[in-house]
Amino acid sequence: MALDLIVRNARLPDLRQGVDIACQAGRIVALEHAITAEAARVIDAGGRLVAPPFVDPHFHLDATLSMGIPRLNRSGTLLEGIALWGELKPLLTPEAVIERAMRYCDLAVAQGLLAIRSHVDVCDDRLVGVEALLDVRARVSGYLDLQLVAFPQDGYFRSPNGVANLKRALDMGVDVVGGIPHFEATMADGAASVKALCEIAAERGARVDMHCDETDDPQSRHIETLAAETRRLGLAGRVAGSHLTSMHSMDNYYVSKLLPLMAEAGVAAIANPLINIVIQGRHDTYPKRRGMTRVPELRAHGVPVAFGSDCVMDPWYPLGQADMLEVAAMGLHVAQLTGLEDMRWCFDAVTTEAARIIGLEGYGLEVGCHADMVLLQARDAIEAIRLKPPRLAVIRRGKVIAEAAERSSRLALDGRPARLDPADYAPPGGL
């Protein structure tokens, strides 16, 4: 019997080379050199990089592609963005949110991004975003894993119906418990919100992912409470702190205590480099803080870390294109991760590490995993981050669901015709 698909002569992110990947009934059934079986479809990777799909562990699908509605963010600040979102919310309709979210999912698939954890604002009493994204989750389930987080944007306690609406959203089928402790009215309220939300997650067997300490305030320390509650309630491995930007500004002595506490508790960290680098440090003159959390130090202490994209063309961020390699590249630069192993890790931060943190089942390039993968026009993970190359084939459950043409340019300079591929400028044999 012929297999469904064989991808031949792949190079994997972990540096295995010349690998054939056989797929049958949606799963990887063999991964070895020179598979002799026949297949209905064969793709020759030609020694190029085949990676598991990109995973975005932090996004806002209810706001994406809404840039300019009802007006543009003139200052580019977080506060004007939040004000703008407040103006947009009453105007939202389920149809418009669904249309924008579906368009974004199309773009994501074309970029090889096949799993997204999206926060959804639950502070609008109509729960328009929740209704819309539950619909989108069902519509895209055949080709994209969409996880939803109940996110009380205006504060769990601070907004009038935050407590009730978050419960309603979970009852409607939202997967993960969110929070925003630094936005509550007081530090005490913030800590109380972390406690209450973790208790809800424990009761429901849900995961937790909070916007936590997304400030430049060195005293914003809700991550400490999140770690303590994770430990108290036995939630290890199911809790993520998103952003954690205050950690950038914290006292070094305090951080030396905090990092082991996070590792012991089993809390993961999700940094959002594109957004952190433009939103944080806005009150600084010079030196101006970068704002991204302490990625190398978290990793060194054994805390799982991933990179998310957070926003694309919405009230907070006017750029972006669902390209997790752009996110990895920015994270690499902001955290100064230019060592060889560090650069390779930046690729993991938008693939395997992100998948592990959000708890994706059957993810990875191993026998028995889902037959989900991306063929890139690059020799290795580091070159992929450098070039952000075309996704030549995007494969889901053993079927090609998106394809792109190879990229090259033709030059005619001083009578020297040449075909130019940016990959020609890489070291021989790749990295």
Where on the chain is the footprint of Zn ion (CB under 5 A)? 310
Nearer to Zn ion, 7 or 311 (CB): 311
Rg (CA), the chain: 22
Shortest Å, Cβ 60 to Zn ion: 6
Shortest Å, Cβ 264 to Zn ion: 26
Shortest Å, Cβ 265 to Zn ion: 22
With H, G, I as helix, E, B as strand and everything else as coil, classify residue 117.
Answer: strand
| Cβ-Cβ contacts under 8 Å for 425 (sequence gap 6 or more) | none
Nearer to Zn ion, 8 or 182 (CB): 182
- How many whole angstroms separate alpha carbon 180 and alpha carbon 201? 15
Nearer to Zn ion, 217 or 403 (CB): 217
The DSSP-derived string for 321-347 is -S-HHHHHHHHHHHTT--SHHHHHHHH
User: Which member of 87, 199, 214, 224 is catalytic?
Assistant: 214
Shortest Å, Cβ 84 to Zn ion: 15
Shortest Å, Cβ 74 to Zn ion: 21
Pick from 405, 404, 407: nearest CA to 394: 404
Helices 252-265 and 222-232, axial angle in degrees (round to 10) = 30
Q: Which one-letter amino acid corresponds to residue 407?
A: R
CB contact at 8 A, 330 and 273:
yes
Nearer to Zn ion, 353 or 380 (CB): 353
When CB distances to Zn ion are compared, the closest residue is 310
- The reply to whether 214 belongs to the active site is yes
Nearer to Zn ion, 146 or 378 (CB): 146
In 3-state terms the chain splits into helix, strand, coil percentages (rounded to 5) of 35, 25, 40
Q: Which one-letter amino acid corresponds to residue 223?
A: I
Catalytic residues: 214
